[in-house]
Chain A
C-alpha cells in the first residue's frame, strides 16, 4: 500500500512553455502533499507544501507565480512550471502523507525529469 505516482516521468519542452506535473496517491487519501526539486548530485530541496482545498505554502526563495501548485482533491496535486527556462531543468519529486497518521513517513513518487531546451 501507500503508492504515489507521478506523470509524466520525463518531459522535454521548449523555453517559454508551461509544463504540468501530476502527483497522485493511488491507494490512500493525502491531505498534504509536498513538492521537491533535486539538481544533479544534490539533495532534495522542498519547494512547497500543498494542502487539499487551500493555497500551497511555498519555501523561501521559491517563486509562487512560476511554480503553480493545485491540490484539488485528496488524491491529486499538480505542479505547473510556467514559462519554463533551461535553469528550471531538474528532477521534481512529490510526496504525500496519509491523512490522520502520526509518526508516519511521507510516500514519494518516482519523480519527473524536466529538461527545458
Chain B
C-alpha cells in the first residue's frame, strides 16, 4: 500500500530564507507521481509542483523545487526566498501509476509560518 510521511507538523522560518519541507514515501509501484500542494487558510488546494518517478531531473517551478531522492524515497520541497504569503499548510502527495485517473493520497501536512 502506498504511504506518505511528513514528519514536520510545523515550521517557523524568517522571511527571505530558504526552507525545506520533508516528505518520504513508500510504494511498490515503479511508476508513480509525487505532488506538493499549498493550502492557505481559505481552504483551497493550490498545486505547486510535480515529479514523476521516471523523471531524471528534479522538478522546478519558480521559487519551488523538488529534491527527489529516489533511492531514499524522499521528495522534499524547497522554497527559496520565502515570503510572508508562503505561510500556509503544505501537503506532500503521491499517486501510484502515472494516469491522472488514479487516486492521490496525502501526507499529514506541515504548517509553515514565515516571520517578518
Show the binding face of A for B, using Cβ within 8 Å: 31-32, 34, 38, 42-46, 49, 51, 91, 93, 95, 97-98, 101-108, 110-111, 113
Contact = CB atoms under 8 A, between A and B. Distances in A.
Given A32-B100, A102-B98, A105-B50, A43 B43 contact: no
B98 A93 contact: no
Interface string B80-116: 0000000000010000001111011111110000000
Contacts, number: 58
Interface residues of B, number: 22
Tell me what chain A mostly uses at the interface: helix, strand, loop, or mixed: strand
B107 to A, nearest CB: 7
Interface in B7-41: 33, 35, 37
A95 B9 CA distance: 25
